[in-house]
Amino acid sequence: MDLTLSDAKAAARALRRTLAATDVTISHSRALEIVAVQLGFADWNIASARLPGGPPDFGRAVPVLRVQDEALAREFYVDYLGFGVEWEHRFEPGMPLYLRVRRGQAVLDLSEHHGDGTPGTVVWLPVASVDALHAELSGRPRARLRPGIDRDAPGGPTIELVDPFGNVLRLCEPSG
């Protein structure tokens, strides 16, 4: 069972009551801080933001990239980069495609719909190892795509790829 924000607050109240029974008095905010640390958080602010039932927060952003050709999009993102198709949608046969792809934690939406995304968009994607990704991509059968590694890029070593529609993917191994 996962703990909720209400459970953590109840634990803080119980901690105060238990300590008070032994003539030890702490403030409610101190009890909240202690419970947060016991749950593995740095402090109560982080615990209250991350525990279910906490304040509403934003989820992970999903960039929408404009693509104009389904076959080219699948060839680049699925066959070459190794993304898997999570789902796809068309309002009816022959209509533009909206496709969600995922690789690890990276999620991209690819859309043929006019007005979705802007050709030439830049997306920065963190990767665990630029060298391992470079070796993987270099072994794929796309002669015109032979990416290099920019080891002096501002965020860390980066492979920059341009998809067939002019969108730029910066695959970066974050430094620090």
Q: Which of 119, 116, 129, 134 is nearest to 156 (CA)?
A: 129
What CATH number does residue 149 fall under?
A: 3.10.180.10
**Rounded distance between C-alpha atoms, residue 55 and residue 20, angstroms:** 30
In a domain, 57, yes or no: no
- At residue 11, what is the residue type? A
Count the neighbouring beta carbons within 10 Å of the beta carbon of residue 58. Answer: 5
- On whether both 68 and 46 belong to a single domain, the answer is no
Res. 57 pLDDT band, cuts 50 70 90: low
- Lowest mean pLDDT across 5-9, 64-68, 83-87, 127-131: 5-9
Q: Check if the beta carbon of residue 4 is closer than 8 Å to that of residue 53.
A: yes
- At residue 53, what is the residue type? G
pLDDT digits (tens, 9 = 90+) for 91-126: 999 999 999 999 999 999 999 999 998 888 999 999
What percent of the chain clears pLDDT 90, i.e. is strictly above it? 62
Q: Which two tokens stand for residue 16?
A: 């105060």
Res. 60 pLDDT band, cuts 50 70 90: confident
- On whether both 96 and 31 belong to a single domain, the answer is no
In a domain, 55, yes or no: no
Domain extent, residue 132, equals 64-172
- On whether both 165 and 96 belong to a single domain, the answer is yes
- On whether both 70 and 126 belong to a single domain, the answer is yes
- On whether both 28 and 89 belong to a single domain, the answer is no
Q: Check if the beta carbon of residue 146 is closer than 8 Å to that of residue 153.
A: no
Half-sphere exposure of 145 (CA within 13 A, CB side): 22
- On whether both 153 and 121 belong to a single domain, the answer is yes
Residue 56 has pLDDT above 80, yes or no: no
Mean per-residue pLDDT for 148-160? Answer: 92
User: What pLDDT does 43 receive?
Assistant: 87
- On whether both 72 and 132 belong to a single domain, the answer is yes
Model confidence, pTM: 0.68
User: What pLDDT does 139 receive?
Assistant: 85
Residues 6+ apart with CB under 8 A from 117: 63, 64, 65, 66, 111, 167
Residues 6+ apart with CB under 8 A from 62: 100, 107, 108, 109
